[in-house]
Amino acid sequence: MRLVTWNVNSVSARLPRVLELLAAEAPDVVCLQETRVSSDAFPHLPLAEAGYQAVGHGLGGRNGVAVLARDDHVLEPVCTGLPGEPRPDEARWVEADVDGVRIASVYVPNGKAVDAPEFAGKLAFLEAMAERAGELVASGAPVVIAGDVNVCATDADAWDIAALHGGTHATPQERERLALTTAAGYTDAYRAIHPDEPGFTWWDYRGLAFPRGEGLRIDQVLLGGGLDVALADARVLRELRKGHKPSDHAPLLAELTG
DNA sequence: ATGACTTGCTATGCAAGA
């Protein structure tokens, strides 16, 4: 199974690049974040023409998540929303089963600034995610949690830890709470394959951040329920951060055997 | 050139992203 996670910063604005990804990599599963469309307005038709079915969860405007599966798989919607999340109206979590593998696409809140009320909401969301992650592995089925976790797990995940706006994304509070999910029995796929590479997945649109290499590794594929032994490769699809109208995130691809 | 933000909306400027 080839699984991609990608924060697209609007699936409508990014549709040509999403179709480019599907044509170039033919992934089995794609988790999208920041789709920024309501579930009703999700672009099912052009994706179907490209050979993909989708479960979208969104309320328009901001946020929104989705799971795509290639047509030769069975995609079954499971649930939307994360039990215990502070803002269920923000559409940041969706689960679907693909050939019996549970897939969760997640968009963790940004948190804005350490002293902002949104920061406490981010911490609460990360706690709810860890809780759900534990439930999922306890069910015994293989599970993938993939998405924009909006946290640099270590200093190696940022080009300049001192430059992070408002001090967010690398605080001990955020890291401890993200670590609750991995402690529940998940493997960070990219780090498992590349222990010493930055693996950045996001670069600011401003200030030539991408060509300067000023990025963050804030998107992750987390493997649970025994899927870690199937991990064969993981890589950042940097080509999609280049060219016409890119997202500010690059897709992250994980390859699993079987 | 990997090239100096981008998106959708409380819209014609603004907040938010990280």
The average pLDDT across A226-237 equals: 98
- For the whole model, what pTM was predicted? 0.97
Verify if strand B has an atom below 7 Å from the CB of A168: yes
Residue A139 CA distance to nucleotide B15 C1' (Å): 41
Residue A157, CB, strand B, below 7 Å: no
Measured CA A218 to C1' B1 distance, in angstroms: 27
Residue A165 pLDDT? 67
SS3 track for chain A: CEEEEEECCCCCCCHHHHHHHHHHHCCCEEEEECCCCEHHHCCHHHHHHCCEEEEEECECCCCCEEEEEECCCCEEEEEECCCCCCCHHHCCEEEEEECCEEEEEEECCCCCCCCCHHHHHHHHHHHHHHHHHHHHHHCCCCEEEEEECCCCCCHHHECCHHHCHHHCCCCHHHHHHHHHHHHCCEEEHHHHHCCCCCCCCEECCCCCHHHHCCEECCEEEEEECCHHHHEEEEEECHHHHCCCCCCCECCEEEEECC
Instruction: Give the Cα separation of A187 and A240 in Å (integer).
Output: 25
A60-110 tens-digit pLDDT: 889 999 999 999 999 999 999 999 999 999 999 999 999 999 999 999 999
- State mean pLDDT over A230-257: 97
Q: Which nucleotides of B are covered by protein (CB under 7 A)?
A: 2-10, 16-18
> pLDDT digits over A175-203, tens only?
999 999 999 999 999 999 999 999 999 99
Percent share of chain A, pLDDT over 90:
95
Cα–Cα distance measured from residue A79 to residue A96, given in angstroms and rounded to the nearest whole number? 7
Over 80: is that where the pLDDT of A258 sits? no
The full set of domains in chain A, from first to last, is 2-256 (3.60.10.10)
Q: Are strands A52-57 and A65-70 parallel, antiparallel or unpaired?
A: antiparallel
Q: Let me know how long chain A is.
A: 258
> A41 falls in which pLDDT band (50, 70, 90)?
very high
Mean pLDDT value across residues A26-40: 97
- Residue whose C-alpha is closest to residue A125's, from A139, A107, A141, A113: A107
pLDDT over threshold 90, residue A140: yes
Interval A150-160 mean pLDDT = 96
Query: Which residues in range 12-71 of chain A are in contact with strand B, contact meaning CB within 7 A of any of its atoms?
Result: 12-14, 34, 36, 60-62
pLDDT of residue A169: 95
